[in-house]
Amino acid sequence: MTDQIDNAETSAPETPEAEAPELDMEQEPAAAAPASVTAPKAEEAPKSEYQVLARKYRPKTFDELIGHGPMVKTLSNALESGRLAHAFVLTGVRGIGKTTTARIIARALNCIGPDGKGNATIEPCGVCEHCRAIAEDRHVDVLEMDAASRTGVDDIRELIEGVRYRPTSARYKIYIIDEVHMLSKSAFNALLKTLEEPPEHVKFIFATTEIRKIPITVLSRCQRFDLRRVQTDELATHYKRIATLEHADIEDEALALIARAADGSVRDGMSLLDQAISHGAGKVTTQQVRDMLGLSDRSRIFDLFDQTMKGEINEALELLGAQYALGGDPAVMLQDMLDLTHWLTRVKLSPDAANDPGVSQIERDRGKEIAAKLAMPQLTRAWQMLLKGLEETRIAPSPIQAAEMILIRLAYAAEMPPPGDLIKKLRNDLNKSGNAPQGGGGSNGGGGPGPRMQVVNGGGAAVAHARPDPLGEPEQAPQQVYAKLPETFAEVAELLSKERETTALAIQLKNYMHLVKYEPGRIEFRPARGARADLSSQLIKTLNNLTGHRWLVSVSEREEGAPTLKEQELEELEQRKADASLDPLVKAILDGLPKAKIVAVHLPPGQEETEGEQDDSGSVYDDAFYLEGDDEL
């Protein structure tokens, strides 16, 4: 681009205003026409032996573009009405024709027709001097810049210096900046003023795959065109036409596979088509394309999905292993199953989706059959599991093992009933159990569907719970309320330990609270080192919710308080160990095992109330203690 700008600068006569002489744009084409006719034809560079299909069949006119009708219509109307923007930005995924479209726009704006008298047109002639020069990438007034390699403000400053000079021979001086999103922030800022008010003879065309990385201040100064992905059927038709021109015999299903693998990118599909023609030596079959792409047989994917959803995991694993042995990629096979799940879901919702022209007969028949057997919750659950499993397979050390585990997980989950059926069954069971008389019946005789009484917290007051309506919406289960207040501080700890959500608070209460005073509904304590700063407030909130009563929890800084519950448990354990060591049987064992020691003591069932009472053997600690040491009895 530096050489092109230098040529443009040197070709313009130097004037005190640093501008080239003004030319009448209406007379310029007529004056330039004889030169274009009499000028000798430029020598063509020697052609290589082979040119890839993506370059050989690159579109040269808007009619040859596929899938970009809205953009062509907008530009056509703009040219006819004279409402032509000074800057365009083309965005879209890779390989859909952004740079190609930019060059076609440049030809359309600078075309002068075969006779040299034409104006800007949506249908460039392709034979005039400007059309040929732009197509051969040698036009001095059409400057292409790769922003991926020229990202700095110095490069933009050089571009701005050349903007003030009029075009050498063309109607417009056109700057095509590819991958414009890679310009630095300073480069974008340097371009803003020129982009907002460029000279009338300058047009900017930007191309990018990352439109979000372009500052909004730049986008607001451009006319934006979003080039969409090309549909699979359009790609297949396009590739078939090119295969015919290349005298290649390729099956329609093979073309469909290539179009599907292209993922909307024309260039990607052209590269795959080029490779397939070389692979098949001019005659390409569907199996050859499958082998080339590493795809599994489509019918095998249907079998694999069907057997997995039936729970026939042994057959599914054997089929997976067979496809892997033939060269199938486990991640690709899971991707195919994911695509199949999506398609089956669409068929389930709209059976007409199976009649799409791009769907083969085997897919249509098998798809309708499998979709009819599966419920919507099963399909949505399979989608979620396969989507997560695909990510796991890609990062797993052994992809085939990861794929097998995904199928096993999916097979066992497929046999699970839908969550809605589980909820319905649970509600029906609750309804049946609620109709039975409980506690002598209620005010309606005990057998009706009125509220039923349930005793909570091991006794005390009875709390009425309304039976849920099995025909209504499921309600959130209320938190259990304990009607009887704990009588002791130890019972408070036990109450907190019963609920899973309050287990951590129970541990804090046992380990870090020195009780100063307790009465039902009121706690006064001294916190130990390591206690939570919000222990009192959390305790108040939790106990209020659990008991339905208002609690008062205060912190005492003067009173030492009793030992914590944990310290009391340890003290009790030490006392039990001391008492156990005096037992005749235990003492005899300890004498026989000098290195042994007592680490825990548990009284046998029924002996807690008769602690200290000896049986016929003279010991109450039969099978009730644990020894630790190197000696063996």
115-156 pLDDT, tens digit per residue, is: 888 888 888 888 899 999 998 888 999 999 999 898 899 999
If you average pLDDT over each of 41-55, 196-210, 590-604, which comes out highest?
Answer: 196-210
Give the pLDDT confidence score for residue 295 in this predicted structure.
Answer: 64
Cα 582 to Cα 598, 601, 613, distances in angstroms? 12, 13, 14
> What percent of the chain is modeled with pLDDT above 90?
18
Q: What is the DSSP string of 260-289?
A: HHHTT-HHHHHHHHHHHHHHHTTEE-HHHH
Helices vs strands, H then E, count in the chain: 25, 14
Mean pLDDT score, 343-354:
85
Tell me which of 46-50, 307-311, 537-541 is least confident: 46-50
Give the pLDDT confidence score for residue 301 in this predicted structure.
Answer: 86
Check if the beta carbon of residue 94 is closer than 8 Å to that of residue 268. Answer: yes
Quick one: pLDDT band at residue 481, thresholds 50, 70, 90?
Answer: low
Name the strand (E) or helix (H) holding 107. Answer: helix 98-110
Reading phi first (left if > 0) and then psi (alpha if -120 to 50, else beta), residue 170 is in beta
> Where in the sequence of the chain do the CATH 3.30.300 domains occur?
489-562
> Between these two residues, 588 and 183, which has the higher pLDDT value?
183
Question: What DSSP state is assigned to residue 629?
Answer: S
Give the pLDDT confidence score for residue 10 in this predicted structure.
Answer: 41
> Where in the sequence of the chain do the CATH 1.20.272.10 domains occur?
294-414
CB neighbour class for 583 (10 Å; exposed up to 12, middle 13-18, buried from 19): buried
Mean pLDDT score, 31-44:
38
pLDDT at 499 over 90: no
Fold assignment, 294-414: Zinc Finger, Delta Prime; domain 3 (1.20.272)
Name the strand (E) or helix (H) holding 88. Answer: strand 87-91
The chain-wide mean pLDDT, for the chain, equals 77
* R_g of the chain computed on alpha carbons: 41
Cα-to-chain-centroid distance, residue 260: 21
pLDDT at 483 over 90: no
> Between these two residues, 10 and 579, which has the higher pLDDT value?
579
Q: Among residues 129, 120, 98, which one has the least CA distance to residue 33?
A: 129
Fold assignment, 2-38+52-226: Rossmann fold (3.40.50)
Check if the beta carbon of residue 101 is closer than 8 Å to that of residue 174. Answer: no
Count of CA atoms in the C-beta half-sphere (13 A) of 484: 13
pLDDT at 474 over 60: no
Tell me which of 393-407, 476-490, 509-523 is least confident: 476-490
Cα 35 to Cα 30, 169, 598, distances in angstroms? 10, 11, 113
> Where in the sequence of the chain do the CATH 3.40.50.300 domains occur?
2-38+52-226
> How would you list the strands of the sheet with 223-226, edge to edge?
142-146, 173-178, 202-208, 87-91, 223-226
Quick one: pLDDT band at residue 338, thresholds 50, 70, 90?
Answer: very high
Helix (H, G, I), strand (E, B) or coil at 519: strand
Give the pLDDT confidence score for residue 326 in this predicted structure.
Answer: 79
CATH number listed for the domain at residues 489-562: 3.30.300
Question: What is the widest separation between alpha-carbon atoms in the chain?
Answer: 132
Task: Give the number of other Cβ atoms within 10 Å of residue 165's Cβ.
Answer: 20
pLDDT at 440 over 50: no
Quick one: pLDDT band at residue 606, thresholds 50, 70, 90?
Answer: low
If you average pLDDT over each of 101-115, 438-452, 537-551, which comes out highest?
Answer: 101-115
Map 219-245 to HEC letters.
HCCCEEEECCCCCHHHHHHHHHHHHHH
Tokens 């027709």 belong to residue: 113
* Distance from C-alpha of 327 to C-alpha of 291, rounded to nearest angstrom: 8
Residues 6+ apart with CB under 8 A from 119: 112
Mean pLDDT score, 484-503:
83
* Distance from C-alpha of 535 to C-alpha of 548, rounded to nearest angstrom: 19
* Distance from C-alpha of 32 to C-alpha of 18, rounded to nearest angstrom: 24
* Token pair in block for residue 13: 């006569």
